[in-house]
Amino acid sequence: TSPKIVLGFESSCDETGVALCTTDGRILGQALYSQIAMHKDYGGVVPELASRDHIRRLIPLMNETFAQAGIGLNDVDAIAVTTGPGLPGALMAGCAFSYSMAMGLNLPVIPVHHLEGHLLSPLLSANPPAFPFTALLVSGGHSQLMGVEGLGKYKLLGETLDDAAGEAFDKTAKMIGLPYPGGPALSKLAESGNPERFKLPRPMLHSGDFMFSFSGLKTAVLTTAMKLAGVSQPAEGMAIDDTDKADLAASFQAAIVETLVKKALAACLHMDHKRLVVAGGVGANRLLREQLVKAATKRGIDVYFPELNLCTDNGAMIAFAGAMQVREHPDLLANRNYSMNTRP
């Protein structure tokens, strides 16, 4: 039988993404709009503004995607949509749109877990990993280690007890006066800093499990920043000398990367996997990529990353996750249950 075509939508946070993917894993078209510029002035994502913008972008992005693919709505066999986790209002924009359209066109809806989208995104790269593999999933909302035996066969090995890795990057960046989103800004600044200048904690490095904790590291950065600025109360955008700032950024990045690398490798060895996959926004971090490859190579483990543009939120990973589900379970195409079930 010929491959089926899945139209996918992502709107869980501050990116609106649309894509078309076939059940043999080809992306036929994709369009993405990032709201970063809009949220920048507020220092973080404003949920209500995010929802409103998704409503504005969904149809133009969908039209752009179809134009790229050279096909039309009539060629679509199923609609995949992120049903969570994410900002409730933002999810609602994408879900209400997708479910209504599916109902109107008599198409099945494939609900997609946002993290499954991230988890499978490395399979879209030129050199995709085979199953099984261990996955380090590090985004703005989650930090998890997963054992992946196959599509839908995921075992949670460990996760963060408090802040997610991306959240720690963002909050630390804000503390030292860097613009939102902090991750890319902080890692750029860190390139010119001395990572050994400040001795910051590596929380739970020797806990013997696969759990993370980043809030203590964040507090240590705050205390150091206050000392450098000569203030006794924390304040946003403290006056810190540029060199000090770069050194602090580099020391923070080194601490978080060391923790992620050690635990990811330990999890991979524990699972006896030969492949380690990194996904989620923090997977775009250059030092993390370098250090992971270095440590894994020594152990005979191959590391796989999504293409850089597929690390952060996008529609392609959602359309792909939906398409893989349809391939694995063709009976999903018969599903006409339109009871929308979002997971905030």
Q: Annotated binding site: which residue ranges?
A: 114, 118, 137-141, 170, 183, 285, 313
Q: Which is nearer to ligand KG4, 284 or 295 (CB)?
A: 284
- By C-alpha distance, which of 136, 142, 158 is closest to 273? 136
Q: Does 139 bind ligand KG4 (CB under 6 A)?
A: yes
Helices within the chain (DSSP H only): 36-40, 47-69, 88-105, 114-120, 165-175, 182-190, 215-229, 242-271, 286-298, 316-328
Q: Does 98 bind ligand KG4 (CB under 6 A)?
A: no
Q: Does 139 bind Zn ion (CB under 5 A)?
A: yes
Q: Does 314 bind Zn ion (CB under 5 A)?
A: no
3-state DSSP assignment of residue 85:
coil
3-state DSSP assignment of residue 278:
strand
In the bound complex, what is the minimum distance in angstroms from residue 75's beta carbon to ligand KG4? 29
Q: Does 88 bind ligand KG4 (CB under 6 A)?
A: no
Distance between CA 337 and CA 331 in Å, rounded? 13
Report what 322 binds from ligand KG4, Zn ion, none; CB cut-off 5-8 Å by kind: none
Backbone angles phi, psi at 32, to 5 degrees: -140, 140
Binding residues for Fe cation: 114, 118, 313
Report what 282 binds from ligand KG4, Zn ion, none; CB cut-off 5-8 Å by kind: ligand KG4
Tokens standing for 62? 């969908």
In the bound complex, what is the minimum distance in angstroms from residue 218's beta carbon to Zn ion? 20
Please calculate the CA angle 334-337-338 and round it to the nearest 5 degrees.
130
304 to 333: interface string for ligand KG4, x by CB under 6 A: --------xx--------------------
Q: Does 10 bind ligand KG4 (CB under 6 A)?
A: no
Within residues 231-290, the interface with ligand KG4 by CB under 6 A covers 280-282, 284-285
Backbone angles phi, psi at 17, to 5 degrees: -130, 140
- By C-alpha distance, which of 58, 51, 152, 64 is closest to 98? 58
Q: With contact defined as beta carbons under 8 Å apart, do 344 and 91 qualify?
A: yes
User: In terms of C-beta density within 10 A (0-12 exposed, 13-18 middle, 19 or more buried), how is residue 177 classed?
Assistant: middle
155 to 184: interface string for ligand KG4, x by CB under 6 A: -----------x--xx----------xxxx
In the bound complex, what is the minimum distance in angstroms from residue 275's beta carbon to ligand KG4? 21
Buried b vs exposed e over 226-252: b needs ≥16 C-beta within 10 Å? Answer: bebbeeeeeeeebebeeebbbbbbbbb
Q: Which is nearer to ligand KG4, 228 or 310 (CB)?
A: 310
Q: Does 313 bind Zn ion (CB under 5 A)?
A: yes
Instruction: Using the rule CB under 5 A, give the single segment among 139-147, 254-262, 294-302, 322-330 that binds Zn ion.
Output: 139-147
The footprint of Zn ion (CB under 5 A) covers 139, 313
Interacting residues with ligand KG4 (CB under 6 A):
13, 139-141, 166, 169-170, 181-184, 187, 280-282, 284-285, 312-313
